[in-house]
């Protein structure tokens, strides 16, 4: 019955999403205990036992939390400022577009169309111009950052997440059709900007909103989302009431720093690096971890996460990672007794964005080489591209279950996403040793990556007992190249198929020192990387050991 009810709630939630975004703005939580559920920076859930009748009869009657509660008010419930969002967008676009037009000569490989009816009608009225562009990896993955900016222009001006998604899509299309009027309509740019910007932008917005609710304006953490901070300042200057905001039921925000040792099995290489980063998670239902029973479908954001790290040595970065994940809607259920025994879970639809890149060692891998220019690419040598991957995890189911049995807390998470990726061809270096690479995909030839469809499957386990914490993660990603849509497709004579996969497994053990709010960490990470081009199959297993500190404040 619970499974049937869960599926029914998901269907009803999706079907009534538009109505919920408006109607639930006015909903308020009817229990003072939930309203006062202010989460701590803690590995344990916040409990409000003092506010409840703790008798067994009362618990059996479900007196702590109602069986079907309304969703909390949305932080975007204030008057929508669409005109201000448009003004902010064109303030940025005025600078970017002018700079781009003034430097058009640097982008002659983009010149496919002229300012004539014949050319522009083909761009606007047909899909002829929709192609994968040939820009370098850094330029193409950072369209996800641009999309997050566009998304937050709308989101911080009180539009809901779906309206902000449409705003980001319109912003991307304006750039592709108007600003780059000579160019093809880039498929990868639109996907990265619109859908990558949705995941990264909503996670950024949720984190910024939370930090601004907890800290004074002078605190540097409130500047982590400067667009949100600017618009909240404008609201106060215009004496506009701030939007209603309900604190998330649980959060974990930390900075970490330490040293790691890396070893690869391909040629026995080994190196030591310094690593630092940031990780924030928010479970949004305010009832999470509170005593009682609750079940409800929700069109509101249920979960958001942002992760970033950078590692290096000799004052140079060697690798960076950035990831964001959001669950946009779904079903939430929880049952906890006064002794903090019970369960809580949510299941819903989400998306994510992720990128990692290793530092290049070859000049042509750094993004300085221009397509169709007179560069000596040293084709007599085999290629030496370093690994990289940028992926929009477009949509998929997300499941997150927490079992409470004081002093234990066990949290299990699983998700599966359909992916669009910019994928480094792991087998290309080996393939180029004995094969001519002329006539292959444009980005593959110049920058070592290709456009692909694929999927990501992951599972996570976290076990807490008092001050100890154990974590494990397994992530498997696989990709298959897309043929036939290169901007220079007619020039390709060797448009072969490529496949790549990446298996990551991670284990960590931490001891939290409450007085110092510091966690002592040790972790192991293994990365099994494989790639295939025709009969060439390349693989490598990389082992990483990390020791460091995590600061929670």
Alpha-carbon distance 199 to 227, whole Å? 17
Four-residue CA torsion sign, 36, 41, 42, 43: positive
Beta partners for residue 471, in sequence order: 462, 508
Tokens standing for 26? 């006015």
Q: Pinpoint the alpha helices (H) of 408-459.
A: 428-431, 442-447
- The answer to whether the CB of 168 falls within 8 A of the CB of 201 is yes
SS3 state at 440: coil
Beta partners for residue 465, in sequence order: 408, 468
* Extended strands (E) in 56-175: 130-131
* pLDDT value, residue 517: 83
- Maximal C-alpha separation, the chain: 82
Q: What share of the chain is helix, strand, coil (3-state, %, to 5)?
A: 30, 35, 30
Rounded to two decimals, the pTM is 0.85
Alpha-carbon distance 496 to 492, whole Å? 10
466: left (phi over 0), alpha (psi -120 to 50) or beta: left
Tokens standing for 335? 């049952």
Q: Which helix (H) or strand (E) holds 98?
A: helix 82-102
* pLDDT value, residue 24: 35
* pLDDT value, residue 499: 98
| Residue that has been written with the tokens 């676009």 in this structure | 93
Contacts of 402 (CB under 8 A, 6+ apart): 45, 343, 344, 345, 409, 410, 411, 412
* pLDDT value, residue 110: 73
Q: HSE (CB half, 13 Å, CA atoms) of 386? A: 15
Alpha-carbon distance 432 to 538, whole Å? 12
Alpha-carbon distance 500 to 531, whole Å? 4
Alpha-carbon distance 475 to 469, whole Å? 20
- The answer to whether the CB of 322 falls within 8 A of the CB of 308 is yes
Q: Which residues of the chain have pLDDT under 70?
A: 1-78, 218, 239, 241-242, 265-270
Alpha-carbon distance 53 to 283, whole Å? 26
Q: HSE (CB half, 13 Å, CA atoms) of 240? A: 17
* pLDDT value, residue 81: 92
Q: What is the DSSP letter of 502?
A: E
């Amino acid at each position: 019955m619970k499974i049937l009810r869960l599926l029914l709630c998901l269907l009803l939630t999706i079907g009534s999403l538009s109505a919920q975004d408006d109607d639930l703005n006015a909903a308020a939580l009817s229990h003072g205990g939930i309203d006062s559920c202010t989460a701590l920076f803690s590995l344990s859930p916040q409990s409000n036992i003092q506010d409840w009748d703790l008798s067994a009869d009362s618990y059996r009657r479900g007196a702590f939390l109602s069986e079907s509660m309304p969703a909390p008010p949305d932080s975007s419930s204030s008057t929508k400022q669409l005109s201000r969002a448009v003004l902010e967008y064109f303030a940025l676009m005025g600078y970017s577009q002018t700079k781009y037009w003034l430097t058009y000569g640097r982008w002659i490989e983009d010149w496919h169309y002229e300012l004539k009816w014949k050319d522009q009608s083909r761009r606007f009225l047909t899909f002829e111009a929709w192609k994968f562009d040939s820009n370098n990896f850094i330029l193409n993955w950072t369209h996800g950052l641009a999309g997050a900016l566009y998304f937050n222009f709308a989101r911080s001006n009180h539009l809901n997440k779906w309206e902000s998604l449409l705003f980001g899509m319109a912003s991307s299309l304006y750039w592709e059709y108007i600003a780059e009027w000579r160019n093809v309509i880039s498929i990868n740019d639109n996907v990265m900007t619109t859908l990558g910007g949705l995941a990264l932008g909503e996670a950024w917005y949720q984190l910024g909103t939370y930090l601004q609710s907890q800290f004074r304006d002078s605190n540097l953490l409130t500047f982590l989302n400067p667009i949100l901070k600017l618009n909240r300042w404008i609201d106060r200057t215009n004496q506009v009431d701030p939007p209603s905001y309900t604190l998330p039921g649980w959060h974990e925000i930390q900075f970490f720093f330490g040293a790691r040792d890396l070893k690869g099995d391909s040629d026995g290489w080994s190196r030591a690096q310094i690593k630092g980063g940031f990780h924030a998670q928010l479970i949004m239902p305010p009832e999470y971890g509170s005593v009682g029973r609750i079940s409800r479908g929700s069109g509101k954001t249920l979960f958001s996460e942002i992760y970033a790290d950078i590692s290096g040595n000799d004052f140079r970065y060697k690798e960076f990672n950035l990831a964001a994940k959001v669950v946009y809607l779904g079903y939430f259920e929880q049952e906890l007794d006064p002794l903090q025994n019970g369960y809580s879970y949510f299941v819903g639809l989400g998306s994510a964005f992720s990128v990692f890149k290793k530092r290049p060692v070859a000049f042509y891998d750094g993004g300085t080489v221009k397509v169709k220019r007179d560069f000596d690419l040293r084709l007599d040598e085999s290629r030496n591209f370093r690994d990289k991957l940028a992926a929009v995890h477009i949509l998929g189911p997300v499941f997150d279950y927490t079992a409470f049995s004081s002093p234990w807390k066990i949290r299990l998470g699983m998700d599966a996403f359909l992916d669009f990726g910019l994928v480094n061809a792991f087998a290309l270096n080996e393939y180029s040793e004995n094969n001519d690479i002329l006539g292959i995909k444009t980005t593959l030839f110049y920058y070592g990556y290709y456009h692909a469809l694929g999927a990501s499957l992951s599972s996570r386990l976290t076990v807490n007992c008092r001050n100890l914490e154990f974590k494990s993660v397994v992530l498997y990603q696989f990709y298959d190249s897309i043929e036939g849509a290169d901007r220079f497709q007619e020039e390709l004579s060797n448009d072969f198929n490529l496949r790549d996969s990446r298996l990551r497994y991670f284990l960590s053990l931490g001891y939290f020192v409450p007085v110092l709010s510091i966690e002592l960490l040790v972790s192991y990470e293994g990365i099994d990387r494989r790639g295939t081009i025709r009969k060439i199959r390349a693989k490598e297993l990389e082992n990483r050991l990390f020791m460091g500190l995590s600061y929670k404040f």
